[in-house]
Amino acid sequence: MIKLGLEDLTLFEIIQGSTSLIYAITGTLIGLIIASKYLIYEKKELLGIGISLALVTVPWYGGGISFLTFIFFDFILDDSIYFFLNYGLLAIALICWMYGISILLFPESKKKIVAITSVICIPYEIVLIALLATNPSTVGVKEGKFNSDAGLLPTVFILIALLVILFTMFMFIRQCLRSQNLKIKWRGRFILIAVILLVIGSFMDATITLSPTTLLIARIILMWRLIFAYLGWLLPDRVANWLIKDKE
């Protein structure tokens, strides 16, 4: 049965579906690992940032789960479910991100920042769910079996969220790179690399006319982004000691 399912797919679709699933699962695991460190270090910023990282990889589950259901059961996810996975949790991810990053950058204003973010995100979430229930085609359009093109509402929200996240991320990176503490400085370097890889990988994935080879390269770049994000937010002592042993 698996063989028959795969035979109905092109090489491009196999790479697209399988790497979507791998990326989603990996991002979820890394995000939850970061969030779980709150229980050890009692740093609330890790909780917010970890959950947000896990949630921003959820959109890849749409294609990944559809890949599994297609090869095993010969169907892909319903549009409403597919688009909810793609766009429905991004608002919660942004709220979690702003909670975590505001603790690091603006600790005295974190409640106001989260409140303002929620005022923007909650109406978006309500309208999105209403559209998914009544007219999913306004939220997105399927492009092949394992990809979609966002409608106006999620596109505008994604662009705003991306700008906010990148701006605050670069603020934190600059803060790290200016630190005299070499461990903090290395954290900033790793997060900067993660951001660069995210931009390159996402640009390749979204705008370049992909072949199976270029698609695979784009997805590998995004996978490396997750690894560097993990190193940046947690930087295990073993890695830190290896990096700075000749400096201190």
pLDDT at 245 over 80: no
State the pTM of this model. 0.91
Contact 172, 107 (CB under 8 A): no
Contact 97, 44 (CB under 8 A): no
Contact 82, 52 (CB under 8 A): no
pLDDT band at 247 (very low <50, low <70, confident <90, very high): low
Residue 30: CA count within 13 A, CB half-sphere: 23
pLDDT at 34 over 90: yes
What pLDDT was estimated at residue 8? 78
Give the CA radius of gyration of the chain. Answer: 19
pLDDT band at 2 (very low <50, low <70, confident <90, very high): very low
**Residue ranges of the alpha helices (H) in 178-211?**
182-207
Name the phi and psi angles at 85, rounded to 5: -60, -40
- pLDDT tens for each residue of 204-220: 887 766 788 899 999 99
First to last CA, the chain: 59
For residue 142, give the H/E element and its range: strand 140-142
pLDDT band at 148 (very low <50, low <70, confident <90, very high): confident
The topology (CATH level 3) of 2-244 is Rhopdopsin 7-helix transmembrane proteins (1.20.1070)
pLDDT at 246 over 70: no
What pLDDT was estimated at residue 157? 95
- Domain layout of the chain by residue ranges: 2-244
What is the rounded CA–CA span in Å between residue 128 and residue 48? Answer: 23
What pLDDT was estimated at residue 223? 95
What is the rounded CA–CA span in Å between residue 156 and residue 227? Answer: 28
pLDDT at 3 over 50: no
- pLDDT tens for each residue of 38-67: 989 889 999 999 999 999 999 999 999 999
- pLDDT tens for each residue of 129-138: 999 999 999 9
Per the prediction, the chain carries an average pLDDT of 91
What is the rounded CA–CA span in Å between residue 188 and residue 170? Answer: 9
What is the rounded CA–CA span in Å between residue 241 and residue 191? Answer: 18
